Amino acid sequence: MLAEDPMGTLINSGSFNTWTNFCTAVKVVSDEEIESAVEEEKRISTVEEKSKKLGVQLLLQSPMAPLRTEFSAEWLQP
């Protein structure tokens, strides 16, 4: 098992001589720190999703993009 101590150092169960000591070290992480980390992960996910959407938009607007095959019937009328 892995966790971070309050100083941000990665810790694992092998770093402690007992399971109880490991659990105590993990419990030291505050609820606020956990909430902050969860919010940061959500923010990162949102940015990644927006980035993917913008990438697709750029591809579609690129002069090198494949020609679209959908045309309105109005374009074919004289």
pLDDT band of residue 52 (cuts 50, 70, 90) is very high
Quick: pLDDT tens for 12-28.
556 677 778 778 877 87
Where are the chain's structural domains? 2-59
Q: 57-66: buried (b, 16+ CB within 10 Å) or exposed (e) per residue?
A: eeeeeeeeee
Average pLDDT score over residue span 26-43 = 85
Q: What is the mean pLDDT of residues 43-63?
A: 88
What is the value of pTM for the model shown? 0.46
Alpha carbons 29 and 35: distance in angstroms, whole number: 11
Token digits of residue 20? 């109880």
